[in-house]
């Protein structure tokens, strides 16, 4: 739960993107996770060099996401401060209260697809 859980989830998703789905910048395609973490072999079926390249690509995705998140938070700093004050007053907001908060500040209630 919390930030630690968010970081763990982010790392797992970035790892799958590169290692399983071939979504890294290098264009490597294939399920490298199966080659490296196989149950049938004593030795991995890929070199440490290739593993290192895939790990670097995983970190690059995480760094890119971090930069995008920082930009979003800086761009919406006024809204974020207002939301923090609202939460300090009320401790929690339900969906309708949050929707009203966004309308009051001239914003549409964000959806996962709009982020």
Q: What is the pTM of this model?
A: 0.72
Residues 66, 108: one domain? no
Q: Provide the residue range defining the domain that includes 38.
A: 2-75
Residues 81, 63: one domain? no
How many Cα neighbours within 13 Å face the side chain of 10?
Answer: 16
pLDDT, position 108: 81
Residues 54, 82: one domain? no
CA angle 8, 6, 59 (to 5 degrees): 55
Among 95, 100, 101, 52, smallest CA distance to 76 is for 101
pLDDT tens, residue order, the chain (115 aa):
688 899 999 999 999 999 999 898 887 887 887 777 766 666 667 788 988 999 999 999 999 999 999 999 999 999 999 999 999 999 999 999 999 999 999 888 776 555 5
Residues 80, 69: one domain? no
Residues 47, 92: one domain? no
The span from the CA of 16 to the CA of 20, in Å, is: 5
pLDDT, position 32: 83
- What is the 8-class DSSP label of residue 105? T
Q: How many domains does the chain have?
A: 2
* Predicted confidence (pLDDT) per residue in 58-68, tens digit: 999 999 999 99
Residues 51, 84: one domain? no
Q: CB–CB of 24/54 below 8 Å? A: yes
pLDDT, position 3: 84
pLDDT, position 31: 80
């Amino acid at each position: 739960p919390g930030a630690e859980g968010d970081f763990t989830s982010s790392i797992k998703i970035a790892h799958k993107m590169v290692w399983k789905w071939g979504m890294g910048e290098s264009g490597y395609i294939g399920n490298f996770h199966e080659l490296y973490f196989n149950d049938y072999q004593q030795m991995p079926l890929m070199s440490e060099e290739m593993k290192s390249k895939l790990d670097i690509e995983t970190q690059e995705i995480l760094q890119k996401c971090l930069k995008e998140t920082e930009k979003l938070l800086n761009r919406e700093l006024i809204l974020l401060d207002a939301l923090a004050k609202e939460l300090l007053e009320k401790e929690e907001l339900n969906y309708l209260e949050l929707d009203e908060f966004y309308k009051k500040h001239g914003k549409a209630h964000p959806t996962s697809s709009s982020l």
